[in-house]
Homo-oligomer: A and B are copies of this chain.
Amino acid sequence: MSQHSTAPPPTLADVAEKAGVSRQTVSNAVNNPDLLRPDTLARVQDAIAALGYSPNRAARNLRTRVSHLIGVRFTPAEEGTANGLMDRFLHSLVASSAEVGYHVLLFADSDTEPLQAYDELLRSTAVDAFVVTDTYLGAPQAAWLAQRRAPFVAFGRPWADPQATHAWVDVDGAAGAALATSHLVERGHTQIAWLGWRKDSFIGEDRRSGWARVMGEHGLPVAGLAARAENTVACGRASAERLLDEAAPTAFVCASDTLALGVLQMMYQRGLVAGRDLAVVGFDDSQVAQVVPPGLTSVRQPLEQVAVEVVKALQGLLASPPVVQQGVLLSPTLALRGSS
């Protein structure tokens, strides 16, 4: 009960003494309970409970060469955008990995050399594996880690290198955009614009293809109805203005909630009302989509599932022998709100 301020936590030896067994037996009680006779096991477990014993992580890590930590480079949501994926994903990841005895170690990358933080963590055996969340074009992490044969799972496909053999989990962006477009077609729209990202964004082009496919399937026009913009509200607004003036669409499908908010801002300026004068669908189901009046219909990524699959892949990677589970592609859903 009354614990002194700096009393060191009990060790295996303390438990062993209290239970009247050897240290090894206590270790077995913790890691291989089946090996013990029931009565011995019970006695040891009582001692563990009485002392409040928990195995020292550092010692265990040193011995087993396993840290039970997975490293994640934490990139915060950009200010002024509607992007809040990381927050949701991280929570799911923390929860999923806790179930298999893992904790998440967060790190920032050094400004100078972006890969240095990964390297450092790896060489000091501080983490067992990484979860990589930036797989956009030009992000070097995945290739670099693969080359080092460091265990990692990517959230996002290896767009730039389809030959890559590492494990990844991703959400089908084309299917998401198709979902959004189909929804608008069902609502009776025929002039449906696409507001997407720059052409060199693989993710953006993937999502765009979903829009184009559904439009084609319904024999609807796409010429002049697509625009590309930087992923900022201001750029989204500018592009939306141009699209509206030049092609007079009645609905917008956007590659992100941020761009969709550009559309809403444009509409606000022109006195148009979302859901009445124009339909708008975003992508990512951010908090913004959920609360902005009158609610922004948005494609929702199943991040909880993503996290579960990531952890599953991680377990394979860390098993012996390692099992590289290749890509897993999950399907998004559509969160319907007032804007459509």
Using a CB–CB distance below 8 Å, which chain A residues touch chain B?
A: 3, 5-6, 9, 52-59, 61-62, 65, 67, 69, 74-77, 79-84, 86-88, 90-91, 94-95, 98, 103-108, 120, 123-126, 148-149, 233, 258, 261, 264-265, 267-269, 286-288, 290-294
Nearest-CB distance from A45 to chain B (Å)? 15
User: Is A287 within 8 A of B77, CB to CB?
Assistant: yes
Q: For A76, what are the chain B residues with a Cβ–Cβ distance below 8 Å?
A: 87-88, 90-91
Q: For A91, what are the chain B residues with a Cβ–Cβ distance below 8 Å?
A: 74-76, 108
Separation of A254 and B194 alpha carbons in the complex (Å): 36
User: Is A291 within 8 A of B80, CB to CB?
Assistant: yes
Separation of A91 and B108 alpha carbons in the complex (Å): 8
Q: For A104, what are the chain B residues with a Cβ–Cβ distance below 8 Å?
A: 74, 105-107
User: Is B105 within 8 A of A103, CB to CB?
Assistant: yes
Beyond A58-B61, A59-B62, A267-B293, 11 additional pairs, beta carbon < 8 A: A57-B61, A58-B59, A69-B105, A82-B287, A87-B87, A98-B108, A103-B106, A104-B106, A268-B293, A287-B288, A288-B292
Q: For A3, what are the chain B residues with a Cβ–Cβ distance below 8 Å?
A: 148-149
User: Is B84 within 8 A of A107, CB to CB?
Assistant: no
User: Is A56 within 8 A of B5, CB to CB?
Assistant: no
User: Is B287 within 8 A of A52, CB to CB?
Assistant: no
Nearest-CB distance from A4 to chain B (Å)? 8
User: Is A287 within 8 A of B81, CB to CB?
Assistant: yes
Nearest-CB distance from A3 to chain B (Å)? 7
Contact of A57 among B53, B106, B126 (CB under 8 A): B126
Q: For A56, what are the chain B residues with a Cβ–Cβ distance below 8 Å?
A: 62, 124-125
Nearest-CB distance from A9 to chain B (Å)? 5
User: Is A84 within 8 A of B87, CB to CB?
Assistant: yes
Known contacts A54-B124, A103-B105, A125-B57; is-contact A291 B94 (Cβ 8 Å): no
Separation of A56 and B64 alpha carbons in the complex (Å): 13
A-B contacts, 27 of them at CB < 8 A, read: A9-B124, A9-B125, A54-B123, A56-B62, A57-B126, A58-B59, A58-B62, A58-B125, A61-B61, A69-B105, A77-B84, A77-B88, A81-B287, A84-B87, A84-B287, A95-B108, A98-B107, A103-B126, A104-B107, A105-B106, A233-B291, A265-B291, A265-B294, A267-B293, A268-B293, A287-B287, A291-B292
